[in-house]
Chain A
Amino acid sequence: MIGHVANLSRWEWFKLRRRWMLWILLVFAILFAQLAVWGQFFSYRNLQTTGGELTVPASLQQQQGRAPRTVACNDLLSGDPARQPADLDAQVVAGLAAQCRQQAATLPARLARAYQGFTLPGSVSTALGIVQTLALILIAILTASAIGIDYGAGTLRSVLTQGVGRWPYLTAKIITLAVIAFLGLVAALATVAISSLIATAIAGAPPEGAGTATWSDAGLALWKAWSSTLPYLALTTFVTVFARSSAAGMAIGLGYYFAEQLIVALFSNLFSWFQNIADFFLVRNISGWVGGSGGLAGGALPDQTHALVVLAVYTLILGGFAFWVFERRDVQGATGGG
């Protein structure tokens, strides 16, 4: 049985790797991961060069009607008149300089944090923080497409008449998609590692206090990012199988992510008790599990143990329903979708 499923998974990969969609989604994941690394790098360089920046609102500028602008703390604190902002009132400049002196105390820690964000192994967690959200959306698209094509093109009929069995076939698809999600994250992180090495070389000597991130933190972040895709994979599988349509799978997979956050944000503001219910919602628990922000909804996220249990229950129930429907349904001809 295991050998049969492994063989089916191998041939599922044979089909998937010939689709442009897989590679386009991977490119998206890599681009977002790169954005995280280089974003942190340029943020670090900026902090290094400016010593931190302060925003000057339009109301404090001598020429009214201008847009808010930023001033660099290094300029303000340099004592060099040529580097002082000529368009600001002296009192405003003095106030800004005082703020800069206060921030200067935290500058080494901010530099160390920014440096850690683009150097290994800290860059792994930084990149995953951004890629993880995208990974949910990408896995929804890929899952709906990989499962939905058998309904759209009618190939499920040809597959099942080969005597492969319904359970093994769906199991192989899900395993392949889960492995692809993992390998996709690893591939994105491999490019992150290369970029991190380049950025580290460009950045030069590390600031004081840098280097507190560990490889075990990076490994844990990878595990959390990957495992958070599984309930989403189960959700999209269920919807695609139930609706026999990749379009429905994609629509629900993508729409649910945003819809849940909007609903939680809206109802949590209206009813205080709604937050307790929201703690059992899928996306909110994914955020709780990976240690992300509350998104649009804000508020305190469920703790990690709670989140892990809720996500496991979601995965089992949605996956179970998907298998049940897949096993019981009569197989019809092509529905014409993708």
Chain B
Amino acid sequence: MTAQNGNVIETTDLTKRYGDVVAVDHLTLRVPRGGVFGFLGPNGSGKTTTMGMLLGLVHPTSGEARIFGDPARHPATLRRVGAMVETPTFYPYLSGRANLRYFQAIGGRGAPADVDRLLDLVDLGKRAASKYATYSLGMKQRLGIACALLGDPELVFLDEPTNGLDPAGVVEVRELVRDLGKGGRTVVLSSHLLSETELVCDNVAVLSRGKLIAQGSIQELLRQHDGLRLRTTDDAKARATLAEIRWVQHVEPQDGGLMVTAPPDRSWEISRALALREVYVNELMPVHRSLEEFFMEITGTDPATGKERS
């Protein structure tokens, strides 16, 4: 049963501690039904631990996690969910086909005939009889995606699905993820490739140090963090003036001018406020940020390396 409010995933104060380390800190998250949901955050931000708690692999220290309105770790709930968490794991001595057949059978997911269809879908049909141990990283990744799609689940978790894929493979997976998100199915996509995420996701949640720091549609989040590049006759005075304006979120020196986080359509108000303090604008240019820039700004880290920005 889907939750009455239309969210397929709901967590309330979900927390996981490992001794003194708080991996996930009172996470309250809502994932709406349908579409592709980006689950973003630097390495160690708690994404995989959260997925683990939702999939019944990790026991929460406190809080609640629900999928389709039911307790997340319940086996009956999990049978409606497909998942590929971290690197795919299969039995090395079994072939790709035998592995998929095994997982199809133990979970009662779809029919045996689906196995070959899914292997073809991820372009592994010709290597289906080869042992998993002989697969390249990209092939393992493809098999992991095929396994997550067994039984046509209503909710699919894909954790870094493009790892190890060549550029053509990345594009194929992007198209696949986009298609999966159509028709009422929900895909939760975790990736550090933010340019890819931006292309396929409808909504995102951003975690940093175990805490949810932003959630919403990408367009809305980016719009909130759009800005203005400003050059004035007196940047120090301009900075002090802008700091007093309630709807200006952030001002920082950048490239010999100022970067102001504020709605671009209110630039005339900025210009007027500065003029009233006898600060005059030399240059005023709206700046639309990419998801990557947004991510770096709110997490303070580089999405590719996970390292903090200096």
Instruction: Kindly list chain B residues whose C-beta atoms are within 8 Å of the C-beta of A165.
Output: 75
Kindly provide the distance from the CB of B193 to the nearest chain A CB, expressed in whole angstroms.
21
Segment at the interface with A among B85-93, B175-183, B227-235? B85-93
Interface centre among A18, A157, A161 (most CB of B within 10 A): A161
A15 to B85, CA, bound (A): 22
When C-beta atoms are compared, the residue in chain B nearest to A334 turns out to be: B89
Q: CB distance A157 to B105 under 8 Å?
A: no
Instruction: Kindly list chain B residues whose C-beta atoms are within 8 Å of the C-beta of A11.
Output: 102, 105-106
A187 to B102, CA, bound (A): 26
A158 to B80, CA, bound (A): 14
When C-beta atoms are compared, the residue in chain B nearest to A163 turns out to be: B78
As a 0/1 sequence over residues 196 to 233 of chain A, the CB contacts with chain B under 8 angstroms (1 = contact) are: 00000000000000000000000000000000000000
Q: CB distance A153 to B94 under 8 Å?
A: no
Q: Is B129 an interface residue (CB 8 A)?
A: no
Q: CB distance A161 to B76 under 8 Å?
A: no
As a 0/1 sequence over residues 9 to 34 of chain A, the CB contacts with chain B under 8 angstroms (1 = contact) are: 00100110011000000000000000
B84-113: which have CB < 8 Å to A?
Answer: 85-94, 98, 102-103, 105-109
A276 to B211, CA, bound (A): 59
Instruction: Kindly list chain B residues whose C-beta atoms are within 8 Å of the C-beta of A160.
Output: 55-57, 78
Q: CB distance B107 to A15 under 8 Å?
A: no
Q: CB distance A161 to B89 under 8 Å?
A: no
Q: Is A46 an interface residue (CB 8 A)?
A: no
Q: CB distance A7 to B83 under 8 Å?
A: no
Q: Contacts A163-B75, A163-B81, A164-B75 given: A153-B102 contact, CB under 8 Å?
A: no
Q: Is A109 an interface residue (CB 8 A)?
A: no
As a 0/1 sequence over residues 140 to 160 of chain A, the CB contacts with chain B under 8 angstroms (1 = contact) are: 000000000100011101111
Q: CB distance B98 to A161 under 8 Å?
A: no
Q: CB distance A162 to B56 under 8 Å?
A: no
Q: Is B130 an interface residue (CB 8 A)?
A: no
Q: How many residues in A have their beta carbons less than 8 Å from beta carbons of B?
A: 25
Instruction: Kindly list chain A residues whose C-beta atoms are within 8 Å of the C-beta of B59.
Output: 328, 330
Instruction: Kindly list chain A residues whose C-beta atoms are within 8 Å of the C-beta of B52.
Output: 330-331
Q: Contacts A19-B93, A158-B103, A328-B59 given: A333-B78 contact, CB under 8 Å?
A: no
A102 to B215, CA, bound (A): 97
Instruction: Kindly list chain A residues whose C-beta atoms are within 8 Å of the C-beta of B147.
Output: 158
Q: CB distance A161 to B56 under 8 Å?
A: yes
Which of B78, B85, B91 has a CB less than 8 Å from the CB of A162?
A: B78
Q: Contacts A153-B89, A155-B89 given: A162-B57 contact, CB under 8 Å?
A: no
Q: Is B127 an interface residue (CB 8 A)?
A: no
Q: Contacts A11-B105, A153-B89 given: A162-B79 contact, CB under 8 Å?
A: yes
Q: CB distance A18 to B87 under 8 Å?
A: no
Which of B58, B75, B94, B109 has a CB less than 8 Å from the CB of A18?
A: B94
Instruction: Kindly list chain B residues whose C-beta atoms are within 8 Å of the C-beta of A162.
Output: 78-79, 103, 106-107, 109
A162 to B59, CA, bound (A): 17
Kindly provide the distance from the CB of B133 to the nearest chain A CB, expressed in whole angstroms.
10
Q: Is A8 an interface residue (CB 8 A)?
A: yes
Kindly provide the distance from the CB of A150 to the nearest chain B CB, expressed in whole angstroms.
9
Q: CB distance B56 to A153 under 8 Å?
A: no
When C-beta atoms are compared, the residue in chain A nearest to B56 turns out to be: A160
Q: Contacts A164-B106, A330-B58 given: A15-B78 contact, CB under 8 Å?
A: no
Interface centre among A15, A154, A158, A160 (most CB of B within 10 A): A158
As a 0/1 sequence over residues 36 to 61 of chain B, the CB contacts with chain A under 8 angstroms (1 = contact) are: 00000000000000001001111100
Q: Is B163 an interface residue (CB 8 A)?
A: no
Instruction: Kindly list chain A residues whose C-beta atoms are within 8 Å of the C-beta of B75.
Output: 163-165
A328 to B90, CA, bound (A): 23
When C-beta atoms are compared, the residue in chain A nearest to B105 turns out to be: A11
When C-beta atoms are compared, the residue in chain A nearest to B49 turns out to be: A330
A7 to B109, CA, bound (A): 13
When C-beta atoms are compared, the residue in chain A nearest to B86 turns out to be: A333
Q: CB distance B107 to A18 under 8 Å?
A: no
Q: Contacts A11-B105, A14-B102 given: A161-B83 contact, CB under 8 Å?
A: yes
Instruction: Kindly list chain A residues whose C-beta atoms are within 8 Å of the C-beta of B103.
Output: 158-159, 162
Which of A153, A164, A330, A334 has a CB less than 8 Å from the CB of B57?
A: A330
Instruction: Kindly list chain B residues whose C-beta atoms are within 8 Å of the C-beta of A155.
Output: 89-91
Instruction: Kindly list chain B residues whose C-beta atoms are within 8 Å of the C-beta of A334.
Output: 87, 89
Instruction: Kindly list chain B residues whose C-beta atoms are within 8 Å of the C-beta of A19.
Output: 93
Instruction: Kindly list chain B residues whose C-beta atoms are within 8 Å of the C-beta of A158.
Output: 88-90, 103, 147
Kindly provide the distance from the CB of A153 to the nearest chain B CB, expressed in whole angstroms.
6
When C-beta atoms are compared, the residue in chain A nearest to B88 turns out to be: A158
As a 0/1 sequence over residues 304 to 338 of chain A, the CB contacts with chain B under 8 angstroms (1 = contact) are: 00000000000000000000000010110110000
* Pairs A-B, 5 closest by C-beta atoms: A163-B78, A162-B107, A154-B89, A163-B79, A331-B57
Using CB atoms and an 8 Å cutoff, list the residues of chain B in contact with chain A.
Answer: 52, 55-59, 75-81, 83, 85-94, 98, 102-103, 105-109, 147
